[in-house]
Amino acid sequence: MPSRYHEVYGKSMRDPEAFWAEAAAEIDWIKPWDKVFDPSLGSFGQWFAGAECNTCYNCLDRHVERGRPGQPAIIYDSPITGKSASYTYKEVLARVNALAACLVDKGVTKGDRVIIYMPMIPEALMAMLACARLGAVHSVVFGGFAARELATRIEDAGPKAIVAASCGIEPGRVVAYKPLLDEAIELSAHKPEACFVLQREQAEATLIEGRDHDLGALMGEAMAAGRTVDCVPVKATDPLYILYTSGTTGQPKGVVRDNGGHMVALKWSMKNLYGIEPGEVFWTASDVGWVVGHSYIVYAPLLHGATTLVFEGKPVGTPDAGVFWRVISDHNVVSLFTAPTAFRAIKKEDPEGKLIGDYDLAAFRSLFLAGERADPDTLQWAEDKLGVPVIDHWWQTETGWAIAGNPLGLGLLPIKHGSPSVPMPGYDVQVLDDAGHPVPAGTLGNVVIKLPLPPGCLPTLWQAPERFRSSYLDEFPGYYKTADAGIMDEEGYLFIMARTDDIINVAGHRLSTGAMEEVLASHPDVAECAVVGITDKLKGQTPCGFVVLKAGVDRPTAEIEAELVRIVREKIGPVAAFKLAITVERLPKTRSGKILRATMRQIADGDAFKMPATIDDPGILDEIEDALKERGLAGST
Ligand code: COA
Ligand code: AMP
């Protein structure tokens, strides 16, 4: 059957308001919109202006009221603890009501912010939904960040309450969250009024009298009393959540998501992009701390009446590289969404894919990849071993759903390896040169999206509209800058090649080299530094820091390098995966003093590079290459 993509995409471009109004019919509104799109609001207009709604109602209540009370909403599978559980829509609603009641009892109301600091457990989703129910704005912080990163987010979001777990579990170690939380609150100028802590058996947290509450106990009481909390009507344009993501500095960007447009876009994507029917099991193997988790572990599957799977484990080592196949087979997963890194990890452990044969994958129909570039080798491997379409799609925290993809639900277009395929409805994607002129097909340039952005995308940054404009809108007037460089071919397929800023992508995690440089520069022995992302077979990229020591420092460099590795882990967190600090005599610079980071990266990767015309002293590049070779890099292996 030919794909309906071109017809559907064309309609979204010709008459976006009619297109999105039709999609919005899938959502239950408390009050309909005055305008589908109001160009006079915000920085570039807002979707569904005047409408009122509640995201939690659309995720839970309506399915309980209309035919799905007994269907599993959340399946929890935790190979790292050996636990599993399944909760029906009715059960999730009861728990979300109870959790919302706990928040209300401590004064949380519409518009208040609530930070959620939890691992991959069902309560993380329930806490998000409870906030949505109250019209409170959640901000989930990924567990792999250190106290200082959590503190930055507490200070910026100004939460009334924090919902946390006592610990997360990583292979071989229990990560006690409570000491990190206490330290973060200590560091932050803003103090929350209440902290709710879910005690897990692997690490009991000490609660601070007056401020901290035992979430499990309070929820138990609220459930026993049958407490319910009405869904609070919010404006479609009100914020549902803030999700902090790496920018070019140590100060993360608070990406804001609204309620109405977000629901419309995500609901549309489940059927049309992912090809999922309500009632089916959809598994996103990511973390609720990332945008992929927000959209496709929590909101989209539940808006659609599907079953979502919460997986607390790793693709390898919990217990082996067959765990993804075991989970797919145990729970009749029809579609898996994960980052290519997960597949590189599996392929490394089980290159022949032998473990796949141990499981019945009859229900499994498709694999979606995103979060980083899907290298053709990995994609080909997954296709060969699984025998289902493997679909790369490209998006960002900012957009909340795919900018480009291959719409399984509309009928797949031919897949081109290395390309996340074609723009999704509502996205007018173009490729411009640095002066803002369109480049010919097949030419590398800045990938931009003509304004307005479609529903679901960020309207602004939390309390930073100026930063929103300067980061995304000012450089190419009339366009949103994705900060990705790429190519569009003659057939309209996109190829995303690299970031144009200081962001790197490590195991599908978005990290700021600028933030790491700030940490390195804070070391008393460091005069200057540069962090670049170098190619890593497993994680795609890995950070590599070059440091120049202050004159007169005569301690062993190995000692200082080990300290630098430690402080990045302490200040940013283990997720930064910063393991390589290299002392050099000088950094290569242009005559105007700009550090030549791209050239250093090319040398580290052993790539051919052109000597920058403006380089101050070409001899430094040889020194950099020698330093890298000593570590087995720069093509020496
Ligand atoms: N809480 C605390 N620490 C965490 C954490 C969390 N939620 N998540 C990761 N970390 C730690 C890891 O334990 C590791 O610590 P270590 O340096 O002591 O080993 C460090 O952060 C780096 O983690 P990661 O880069 O994920 O490497 P890894 O070697 O632990 O695992 C993979 C490699 C490929 C198995 C893993 O990255 C993975 O499953 N990736 C899938 C991709 C994904 O989910 N991407 C999310 C966006 S879609
Ligand atoms: P994040 O905001 O964490 O989702 O990271 C977004 C960035 O990850 C994008 O700007 C890209 O640089 C990269 N990215 C995400 N998905 C893809 C993909 N399918 N192909 C290439 N790069 C991707």
Residue 330 has φ and ψ, to the nearest 5°, of -60, -35
**Quick check: helix, strand or coil at residue 178?**
helix
* DSSP notation for 230-270: PPPPEETTSEEEEEEE--SSSS-EEEEEESHHHHHHHHHHH
How many CB atoms lie under 10 A from the CB of residue 491?
Answer: 12
Residue 154 has φ and ψ, to the nearest 5°, of -65, -45
- How many CA atoms within 13 Å lie on the side-chain side of 77? 23
Contact yes or no for 378/339 (Cβ under 8 A): no
Return the ligand number nearest the Cα of 339: 1
Is pLDDT at 239 greater than 90 in this prediction?
yes
Distance CA 168, CA 364 (A): 29
Nearest CA to ligand 2 atom 14: 372
Widest distance between CA atoms in the chain: 75
Spell out the residues 6+ positions from residue 607 whose beta carbon is closer than 8 angstroms to its own: none
Most informative mutation of 575, 578, 579 for ligand 1 (most atoms within 8 A of CB): 575
Nearest CA to ligand 2 atom 6: 396
Residue with tokens 């790369």: 392
Return the ligand number nearest the Cα of 417: 2
Q: What is the pTM of this model?
A: 0.96
Q: Which atom of ligand 1 is nearest to the CA of 371?
A: 48
Distance CA 176, CA 204 (A): 9
Is pLDDT at 572 greater than 50 in this prediction?
yes
Q: Is the CB of 287 under 6 A from ligand 2?
A: no
Q: Is the CB of 502 under 6 A from ligand 2?
A: no
278-299 pLDDT, tens per residue? Answer: 999 999 999 999 999 999 999 9
Q: Give the chain's mean pLDDT.
A: 96
Most informative mutation of 373, 421, 422, 480 for ligand 2 (most atoms within 8 A of CB): 373
Is pLDDT at 637 greater than 70 in this prediction?
no
Q: Estimate to the nearest angstrom the gap between the alpha carbon of 434 and the chain centroid.
A: 27
Q: Is the CB of 370 under 6 A from ligand 2?
A: yes
**Quick check: helix, strand or coil at residue 272?**
helix
- CA 509–ligand 2 middle distance (angstroms): 9
* DSSP notation for 60-97: IIHHHHTT-TTSEEEEEEETTTTEEEEEEHHHHHHHHH
Residue with tokens 């609660």: 207
Percent of the chain with pLDDT over 70: 100
Most informative mutation of 288, 390, 396, 502 for ligand 2 (most atoms within 8 A of CB): 396
Spell out the residues 6+ positions from residue 556 whose beta carbon is closer than 8 angstroms to its own: none
Across the range 366-380, mean pLDDT stands at: 96
CATH class name, domain 5-313+393-486: alpha beta
Is pLDDT at 111 greater than 70 in this prediction?
yes
- CA 543–ligand 1 middle distance (angstroms): 14
- CA 538–ligand 2 middle distance (angstroms): 16
Spell out the residues 6+ positions from residue 451 whose beta carbon is closer than 8 angstroms to its own: 44, 45, 473, 478, 479, 480
Please list the residues that pair with 88 across neighbouring strands. Answer: 72
Q: Which atom of ligand 1 is nearest to the CA of 289?
A: 7
Q: Which atom of ligand 2 is nearest to the CA of 509?
A: 3
The two tokens of residue 317 are 């080592």
Return the ligand number nearest the Cα of 504: 2
Q: Is the CB of 314 under 6 A from ligand 1?
A: yes
Spell out the residues 6+ positions from residue 158 whose beta carbon is closer than 8 angstroms to its own: 113, 190
Q: Is the CB of 323 under 6 A from ligand 1?
A: no
Q: Is the CB of 346 under 6 A from ligand 1?
A: no
Most informative mutation of 142, 288, 369, 394 for ligand 2 (most atoms within 8 A of CB): 394
Q: Is the CB of 576 under 6 A from ligand 1?
A: no
**What's the confidence (pLDDT) of residue 636?**
62
Most informative mutation of 484, 495, 503, 575 for ligand 2 (most atoms within 8 A of CB): 484
Distance CA 20, CA 420 (A): 23
Q: What is the DSSP letter of 355?
A: G
Q: Is the CB of 341 under 6 A from ligand 1?
A: yes
16-35 pLDDT, tens per residue? Answer: 999 999 999 999 999 999 99
Q: What residue ranges of the chain are covered by domains with CATH 3.30.300.30? A: 507-630
43-102 pLDDT, tens per residue? Answer: 999 999 999 999 999 999 999 999 999 999 999 999 999 999 999 999 999 999 999 999
Q: Which atom of ligand 1 is nearest to the CA of 341?
A: 34
173-213 pLDDT, tens per residue? Answer: 999 999 999 999 999 999 999 999 999 999 999 999 999 99
Distance CA 405, CA 98 (A): 38
- CA 262–ligand 1 middle distance (angstroms): 28
Q: Is the CB of 404 under 6 A from ligand 2?
A: no
Residue with tokens 């990229």: 541
**What's the confidence (pLDDT) of residue 608?**
85
Return the ligand number nearest the Cα of 576: 1
Residue 337 has φ and ψ, to the nearest 5°, of -125, 125
What is the enclosing helix (H) or strand (E) of 311? strand 307-311
**Quick check: helix, strand or coil at residue 430?**
strand
What is the enclosing helix (H) or strand (E) of 215? helix 215-224
Distance CA 132, CA 96 (A): 10
Distance CA 191, CA 158 (A): 8
In this structure, are strands 366-369 and 83-88 parallel, antiparallel, or unpaired? unpaired
- CA 293–ligand 1 middle distance (angstroms): 15
Q: How many residues does the chain have?
A: 637
Q: Which CATH topology does 507-630 take? A: GMP Synthetase; Chain A, domain 3 (3.30.300)
Q: Which atom of ligand 1 is nearest to the CA of 316?
A: 35
Distances (CA, A) of 93 to 162, 311, 604, 606: 21, 20, 52, 54
203-223 pLDDT, tens per residue? Answer: 999 999 999 999 999 999 999
Contact yes or no for 526/567 (Cβ under 8 A): no
Most informative mutation of 372, 391, 509 for ligand 2 (most atoms within 8 A of CB): 372
Q: Is the CB of 297 under 6 A from ligand 1?
A: no
The two tokens of residue 269 are 């994507």
Is pLDDT at 1 greater than 80 in this prediction?
no
The two tokens of residue 426 are 């509502």
Distance CA 134, CA 103 (A): 9
- CA 252–ligand 1 middle distance (angstroms): 20
Spell out the residues 6+ positions from residue 287 whose beta carbon is closer than 8 angstroms to its own: 119, 120, 142, 143, 293
Q: Is the CB of 508 under 6 A from ligand 2?
A: no
**What's the confidence (pLDDT) of residue 613?**
85
Spell out the residues 6+ positions from residue 89 whose beta carbon is closer than 8 angstroms to its own: 60, 63, 64, 68, 69, 70, 71, 72, 73
Strands (E), 124-260: 137-140, 161-165, 167-170, 173-176, 194-198, 212-214, 234-235, 239-245, 253-258
Q: What residue ranges of the chain are covered by domains with CATH 3.40.50.12780? A: 5-313+393-486
298-340 pLDDT, tens per residue? Answer: 999 999 999 999 999 999 999 999 999 999 999 999 999 999 9
The two tokens of residue 427 are 């996205």
**Quick check: helix, strand or coil at residue 493?**
coil
Is pLDDT at 472 greater than 90 in this prediction?
yes
